[in-house]
Amino acid sequence: MKSFATFGNELYTGERSYEFVGKRKIWFGITGLAVLVSLLIPMLGGGFNFGIEFRGGSQFTISEVAHTDAVIGEEAVDQAVPGTAAVVTNIAGKTMQVQTDRLTDDETLKVSDALKSAYGVTDDHITSTFVGPTWGQDVSRQAIIGFIVFVLLATVLMAVYFRTWRMSIAAVVGMLVVMVVTAGVYAASRFEVTPSAIIGFLTILSYSLYDTVVVFDKIRENTADITKSVRRTFGEEVNLAVNQTLVRSINTMMVAVLPVASILFIGAFLLGAGTLRDLSLALFIGIIVSTFSTIFVAAPLYAWLREREPELARQAKKVHSRRASEANETAKTVNV
Amino acid sequence: MARTGPTSTARRTLLWLAAIIIACTLAVGGGVLAGAASWSPKLGLDLEGGTQMILAPKVEGAGSITSEQLDQAVSIIRQRVDGSGVSEAQISTEGGNNVVVNMPGKPTDAERELIKASANMNFRPVIVATQVPSGAVPEAEQTPADKLPVPTAAPVNASDPNWVDAALMKQFEATSCIAPLTDRPTSSDPAKPLVSCEPDSGIKYILGPVEIPGKWIKTASYGLQAGAQGATTNEWSVQLTLTKPEGAQAFKEVTQRLNSKYLANPEDPQSRFAIVLDDSVISAPASMAVITDGQSSITGQFTEESAKSLSDKLKFGSLPISFEIQSELQISATLGLQQLEMGMLAGLIGLGLVVIYSLFQYRALGLVTISSLVIAGVITYLAIILLGWAENYRLSLAGVAGIIVAIGQTADSFIVYFERVRDELRDGRGLVAAVENGWARAKRTILASKAVNLLAALVLYFVSVGNVKGFAFTLGLTAVADLIVVFMFTHPTLQLLARTKFFGEGHRFSGLDPVQLGAIPLYRGAGRLRTPEETMEVVKGKNARAAGEAERRQTIAERRLAAKEAELVGSRGAGAAKSESNEDSKENK
């Protein structure tokens, strides 16, 4: 196997090149399919599995239980407040989770006591959450406002920095693809959508744009004097920039994903449901999808948006004619 | 010597960084010695255990609530919680319309009710008042049972001393209005008399039944009192307006009764009425005039601040704001500890993986990444402690997650930088020049991309509620720490390392080996271009180095150019070749 550094060298000189821009129809097709599937998953799979924060209700988490039998919990809840349906799950190791409809304060205390004695744990090992029906809406409303404000400001920031709004458009489209695909995978996982997951999604927003900005900055550098050059067409320069930053993209993805993967592992297998797990799943998928989206969606899209500008079209023509004449003349001339 | 410039700047920058870190450490150390700070960060409720209630205010009748009203509501809740003896409760507003109460342990039913209930403001006439701040009367000095007052007749009005019976007198004597305060109820029966304290003065009262309920207070304001001639005096006063007709009518009757007592004896406590908020007296002015139109003015040694405070209390305390519990979370201390341990474990594993990957990818250069991450960690840690101390910032689980996520994003700055340096090496530059050129390019990228991160953190912080806030905060904090480290540690360190033998000569394990990076000349001969830095490099290079250096003198650009020129010389005009060469050399500057 070639060393990673050699791989990087070949990408840098253009000796090895992947057709991110040239074959964009294929990449856009695959992306479209992924987006479609991601939209269909929640539609066909019965939507998202909204957590208690969005539905409203009461939730009890009992750790260090002696038995992980769900029936014990169901009976305890039914005895404490007759007629209350409880969903009891063993979320991890010796931890049980009990979810019920909204209970009054009084009932919450009763159920908490009943569960405590049913599972034989002390006060220290029971945690209760009571969520009113509007809390989740509050969180989501604020998150949506945050999303819109951030996207608008980031679009302006990028347009100012790169001096072209087309980069903003390409970056934001890439980010939207990330959002949809991440949401689709999240829905497929059947993990609960909790405020922690929302945090994860918001972070992905920023990560996705962050990643795109790094690659776009290299594109900006490579294409700064494009109209004065006849070496490569605009699309080719963009493609070279993506290839040149490919090693960085892979390294960054790995370094970003490793800590998240460790949270996901700890969260999912040792702690069970909770902040860490929900957050890290969204991040885990989002970081990987972001890296791909920058390379396969945002950069080719940007090339496509710019390529048809008259000036760049003229430049492309010059490049092609130069190549054609060179090919002719090389054929005519004997070796130098 | 051109080299001393960047080297000494680099050294100076590193010293500055060290100075900043030492200064922060000393600040925290000083705080610890003074007993105000601690070496470990303050923990949020989800890590420490306790109860968090998120309350949404409800105003009867009115649709929404202003931020002023909310602030007042928060101060009312704070008084109630503090008054109920729960220590260390933190109460804050959030997202412009919610109130968050964090407290250790579990609140009792009574405490929960207390927090939810709407403020209870009303006016009661004073029946008995002490002259000075009063504690409980010692058991031995209390009035014996046979001497306790026995009402002789049914009370005729709210100020009638006949309201005071044996039980009430006993309670009055046992109550302390100076520390330690006696626990008192906060939602008493409005139709019955009440034993109460004025927390500001420590004066103890027996008050008659409620005569003016809070809903009759229309509004209140404060300002400088107008004198007899209409000119403003220097005395602050609070203007109170009651609703018409019921408020004004009732107040007229009260002031008529009280004012007659005042005219008979200005010192008579029964000439006063008490403004009572949640069963605590906030002010007890005497009735110096009969108020017939519901417009009265309260005067007496107010400062601007105390006048505003009373007027705010009158204005907002009378609002029937009650609270609905939106979310209540009780976390046992064990669970909190478990989550913290797991979070730290996840962070350590994540960090370990990043260390292994960096060393694998960047060899010795990975060590620079690792030490940069450590420094970023130290800065973040100090910032969290300092903020915990100054701003009472508490680290939550979401915040811990933010820090773990930041490991990757911080490391990315180094990756971007190192890759640029490698690109420069691939172009055939010497390491010193490659570091400077690579940095000039990477700096722009790092600043632009971190701006996106900071923007996200800021927007999330200002817009969001709950957990999201804590997360956004650490995300922003780590982005700043990252920038500090990249500028003040990673780059200066690399500048210095570039001049060492190990890195400068491109040792196989340095991660910057030109041979591995493909900077080996493939073509030799015509068309050599040398940038000024490179030329200097040769002059300064050691002899051993010069030999190797000569091998890699030719840049990729030069190679390409040489090949192309050779190709073009016969076929195209000299002019075309010249413009091409300009293009290439420009591209690699």
The owner of tokens 């600040």 is B27
Q: What is the pLDDT of residue B516?
A: 67
Read off the pLDDT of each residue in A288-301 and give the average, rounded to a whole number.
93
Q: What is the pLDDT of residue A45?
A: 75
B467 falls in which pLDDT band (50, 70, 90)? low
- Among residues of chain B, what percentage have pLDDT more than 90? 6
Domains of chain B: 8-42+347-504 (1.20.1640.10), 532-587 (no CATH)
pLDDT at A83 over 60: yes
Look up residue B405 and give its two tokens: 């996520």
- Sketch the domain layout of chain A as residue ranges: 11-50+135-321, 57-131
pLDDT at A253 over 80: yes
pLDDT at A52 over 50: yes
Cβ contact A255–B411 (<8 Å): yes
Cβ contact A271–B339 (<8 Å): yes
Q: What is the mean pLDDT of chain A?
A: 83
Q: Which CATH class is domain A11-50+135-321?
A: mainly alpha
Cβ neighbours of A214 in B, within 8 Å: 412, 416, 445, 449
Q: What is the pLDDT of residue B466?
A: 62
Q: What is the pLDDT of residue B588?
A: 42
- A183, with CB counted inside 10 A (0-12, 13-18, 19+), is buried
Q: What is the pLDDT of residue B282?
A: 83
Closest CB to B353: pick one of A150, A158, A262.
A262
Read off the pLDDT of each residue in A292-302 and give the average, rounded to a whole number.
93
Alpha-carbon span A38 to B98, nearest angstrom: 35
A258 touches chain B (CB under 8 A): yes
Cβ contact A12–B426 (<8 Å): yes
Residue B394 has phi, psi (to 5 degrees) of: -120, 135
Taking the CA of residue B313 and the nearest CA in chain A, the distance in Å comes to 29
B260 falls in which pLDDT band (50, 70, 90)? confident
A150 touches chain B (CB under 8 A): yes
Of the candidates B1, B10, B5, which has an alpha carbon nearest to the alpha carbon of residue B540? B1
Cβ contact B466–A280 (<8 Å): no
Taking the CA of residue A208 and the nearest CA in chain B, the distance in Å comes to 10
Closest Cα in chain B to A110: B109
Convert the pLDDT of each residue in B369-386 to its tens digit.
889 989 999 999 998 888
Alpha-carbon span B407 to B392, nearest angstrom: 24
Local structure of A70: helix, strand or coil: helix
Return the ∠ at Cα A101 (arms to A95 and A102), rounded to 5°: 105
* Longest pairwise C-alpha distance within chain A: 98
DSSP characters over B280-308: EEEE--B--S--SSSEEEEEEEE-HHHHH
Give contacts of A 39-78 with B, CB under 8 A.
Answer: 53, 61, 63-64
Q: What is the pLDDT of residue B152?
A: 79
pLDDT at B3 over 90: no
Q: What is the pLDDT of residue A172?
A: 93
Cβ contact B459–A244 (<8 Å): no
Min mean pLDDT across B114-128, B150-164, B541-555 is at B541-555
Convert the pLDDT of each residue in A254-270 to its tens digit.
888 888 888 888 877 77
A142 touches chain B (CB under 8 A): yes
Read off the pLDDT of each residue in A300-327 and give the average, rounded to a whole number.
87
Read off the pLDDT of each residue in B553-572 and give the average, rounded to a whole number.
51
Alpha-carbon span A269 to A272, nearest angstrom: 6
Q: For chain A, what's the residue count?
A: 336
A31 touches chain B (CB under 8 A): no
Cβ contact A255–B566 (<8 Å): no
**Within a 10 A sphere around the Cβ of A160, how many other Cβ atoms?**
11
pLDDT at B137 over 50: yes
Q: What is the pLDDT of residue B531?
A: 40
A134 touches chain B (CB under 8 A): yes
Closest Cα in chain A to B417: A248
Taking the CA of residue B350 and the nearest CA in chain A, the distance in Å comes to 4
Read off the pLDDT of each residue in B491-508 and give the average, rounded to a whole number.
81
Residue A57 has phi, psi (to 5 degrees) of: 145, -170
**Could you tell me if B122 and B210 are in contact, meaning their C-beta atoms sit under 8 angstroms apart?**
yes
A88-97, A119-128, A199-208, B132-141: which is most confident: A199-208
Q: What is the pLDDT of residue B561?
A: 56
- In B251-350, at which residue ranges do the beta strands (DSSP E only) sit? 273-277, 280-283, 295-302, 321-331
Cβ contact B459–A9 (<8 Å): no
Mutate to test the interface with A, among B444, B460, B483, B586 (most CBs of A within 10 A): B460
Cβ neighbours of A157 in B, within 8 Å: 451-452, 455
- In B440-528, at which residue ranges do the beta strands (DSSP E only) sit? none
Mutate to test the interface with A, among B46, B332, B558 (most CBs of A within 10 A): B332
Of the candidates B20, B27, B17, B16, which has an alpha carbon nearest to the alpha carbon of residue B386? B27
Residue B99 has phi, psi (to 5 degrees) of: -115, 130
Q: What is the pLDDT of residue B577?
A: 39
pLDDT at B390 over 70: yes
Alpha-carbon span B347 to A329, nearest angstrom: 62
Return the CATH number of the domain spanning residue range A57-131: 3.30.70.600
A104 touches chain B (CB under 8 A): no
**Could you tell me if A134 and A101 are in contact, meaning their C-beta atoms sit under 8 angstroms apart?**
no
Closest Cα in chain A to B112: A105
Min mean pLDDT across A224-238, A321-335, B55-69, B308-322 is at B55-69
Read off the pLDDT of each residue in B167-182 and give the average, rounded to a whole number.
79
- B234, with CB counted inside 10 A (0-12, 13-18, 19+), is exposed
Cβ contact B354–A259 (<8 Å): yes
Give contacts of A 259-278 with B, CB under 8 A.
Answer: 259-263, 265-267, 270-271, 274-276
Q: What is the pLDDT of residue B19?
A: 93
Cβ neighbours of B328 in A, within 8 Å: 108, 128-131
Look up residue B263 and give its two tokens: 């005219």
A150-159, B138-147, B299-308, B328-337: which is most confident: A150-159
B515 falls in which pLDDT band (50, 70, 90)? low
- Among residues of chain A, what percentage have pLDDT more than 70? 93
Q: What is the mean pLDDT of chain B?
A: 76
pLDDT at B530 over 50: no
Residue B103 has phi, psi (to 5 degrees) of: -145, 150
Convert the pLDDT of each residue in B38-78 to its tens digit.
788 888 777 777 888 888 777 666 566 677 777 777 777 77
Cβ contact A209–B464 (<8 Å): no
Closest CB to B422: pick one of A8, A128, A132.
A8
Cβ contact A276–B339 (<8 Å): yes
